Amino acid sequence: MAFLEHPSRLISASVLSLVAGLWLSPRLAHAQNSADDMSLRGDRAEISVTIRDSSGEPIRSAGNVKLYRDGMMADQSAISHGRAFFLIRLLGNYTLVVDATGYKSAQRDVDVPVAVKYEIDVNLRRESALDDGGVVSTKPILAPKAKEAFDKALKAIDANKLDDAEKDLAEAIRLAPGHPDVLFVQGVLFLNRRNWPEAQTALEKVTQLDASNARAFAALGMALNNQSKYADAVPMFEKSVQLDPPGSWETNLALAKAYYYHEQYDQALKTSQQALTESNGKAPQIELVVAQSLTAVGRYEDAAGALRKFLKEHSDRPEAATAKRWLDGLAKNGKIRQN
């Protein structure tokens, strides 16, 4: 039973989620001092993160900060002008994981016992250090005019203004041809345009120029998936997960689908279950991918249980009709006991 929707129908939302940690604007702080923070924030704590380089100045690179609680990703925020912000409801112990272009990843533990504002500094080291007195970037820095066009393209993609994004990106490419960040956004634009071959070409160049870019490998996997090149897509997603072990549930979901279409059903089941756990309730529709994978490995009653659970907890979602149809199909084909 071919239950899974073809990934080309899901690519726009998946791509935007995939690159959200790098490109989306961070949350704005709602207050300027501790007293105002408490009145506006209510029972939520705020974590304000400043990311600095070796000179002590806020970094200028693109990147993102992920917030973990009890080993699970609770939130993520893009880095803008060296800053990132989080508003959180649950108090306790958190871990910040910071990734920025041209810098080594860093993490910082944060104890949040009360709902106040916490100012956190994280210092990053360049990927390739010459010595204690100087460092060298592994990637060229965009000149001011190229960066201006680049930033405009990002904002246009975020706003789904693809024609504007294409115009601004063309200017960035003219000023900085071959820059991996520019090529990556070009690949994302092609994905949003559903131009899979062109997206593949651009993203392949990125992975060759910047072999540590986990998002580029994941985006390349999506471009390959949408051309039914599942055998080629699988190692791209696997490389993305290898480069960024905490990863994201979107990447693991895409990998699970690639495994499924490549008939690696055991891996599809394991990875879809992992994606469901990592999504922390944000994407209950993953339960249907788990059910499909359970069916593929012959665990029909478990698949039925997953579908019944989805129908019980999410009967108001549009996927409920599909879950009901799949469940009826399992019964009709004699794969499960009749209720």
pLDDT tens profile 90-110: 888 888 989 988 888 888 889
Instruction: Tell me: pLDDT of 9 over 70.
Output: no
Per-domain residue ranges of the chain: 7-21+141-332, 31-136
Give the residue among 217, 157, 159, 214 at the shortest CA–CA distance from 188. Answer: 157
What global pTM score does this model have?
0.61
CATH 2.60.40.10, applies to 31-136: yes
Compute CA distances 60 → 31, 63, 81, 124, 147, whole Å: 24, 9, 6, 12, 11
pLDDT tens per residue across span 315-326: 999 999 999 999
The pLDDT value given to residue 29: 30
The residue with tokens 């599909």 is 322
Residue 36's pLDDT is 34
Give DSSP secondary structure letters for 124-142: --BSEEEETTEEE-SSPPP
Select from 1.10.645.10, 3.30.750.24, 3.40.640.10, 1.25.40.10 the CATH code of 7-21+141-332: 1.25.40.10
Q: Please name the amino acid found at residue 301.
A: E
The H-or-E segment that residue 52 falls in is: strand 45-52
